[in-house]
Amino acid sequence: MAGTEAPDGVRFEHSGSLAQRALQLLATGPRTTPEMAAQVMGITGGGAAAARAIWALLGCDARFAVSGEGVWSLAQAAAPALRPLREEEWVVVDFETTGGSPSGGHRVTEVAAVRVSGGKIQGTYSTLVNPERRIPGMITSITGITQQMVDCAPCFREVAHRVGEAVEGAVFVAHNAAFDWRFLCHEMEMATGVQPAGRQLCTVKVARKLLSHLPSRGLDALSVYFGLEIENRHRALDDAVATAHVLLRLIDMLEDRGVHDWEALEVLLGRRKPKTSRKRAASPRSMEAA
């Protein structure tokens, strides 16, 4: 995880108290590397050791910037570029887990990430994961993932770097995105001490806007509607690939409705108000509108 990807895609940020202390310090103005080492980490005297320590803490964190002279500052956040939706870099993610919530002690048993751009699936990554706890029988009956299948699989901390590479720099997409995002945040922080940040898109929410006439916008229902086949339902890669195809079909529908970029998509989803002209915004409102 290089920490230098486009700021509108998934990036990883330190969540610890030292990073928070650095944010608070730099909010008051730039600091040299020796100043950062002394005031954030308590390392006095400067030198190479101080520089290495600060770089290890902040060098891969997109919230921080450092000049060639070793002066640190807060990075300037860039607004998402208004690229056509079809030209966006998307990563469709699916987690299979031991249960419904990481706050309840549940862990990941399988992860898949499917990169989509230019209207095509460009690559995939998937792996079973040892959850370091027992898989409930009910979950095995749904996913088909048994305890024996994961006992010899890598733990999440062993694949965290690869998962980070698979999702970094792209817009995070999932069917019921809040679920998968929670598990990504939880597992990445436990394994690496960093958390993901960036744009997210839930295909369920988009489908609700575009296909309100359907009785269900679940992945099974959408797959039937779009004529897609899922060979191994509730396995991470097959579900992620199916969701990627659903995403591409939804983008077709969005374009037909005149929704061509991220800003217009946020307006459709109710996350952003439509832009109004200055002339209209400045005009007085009637008593009925007040």
Q: 170 vs 64, which has greater pLDDT?
A: 170
Task: Give the pLDDT confidence of 237-248 residue by residue, as tens digits.
Answer: 999 999 999 999
Residues 6 or more apart whose Cβ sits within 8 Å of residue 168: 1, 2, 5, 9, 10, 11, 12
pTM: 0.76
Q: Where exactly are the structural domains of the chain?
A: 15-74, 85-268
- CATH level 3 topology of 85-268: Nucleotidyltransferase; domain 5 (3.30.420)
The CA distance from 66 to 32, in Å, is 9
- Check if the beta carbon of residue 135 is closer than 8 Å to that of residue 109: yes
Task: Look at residue 12 in the predicted model and tell me its pLDDT.
Answer: 82
Higher pLDDT, 287 or 53: 53
Confidence of residue 18 (pLDDT cuts 50, 70, 90): confident
What pLDDT shows up at residue 230?
Answer: 96
The predicted-structure confidence for 68-86, as pLDDT tens digits, reads as follows 899 999 987 655 567 899 9
pLDDT of residue 185: 93
pLDDT number for residue 289: 34
DSSP state letters, 243-284: HHHHHHHHHHHHHHTT--BHHHHHHHTTSSPPP--HHHHHSP
Residue-wise pLDDT tens digits, 113-138 = 999 999 999 999 999 999 999 999 99
Phi, psi of 247 (to 5 degrees): -55, -45
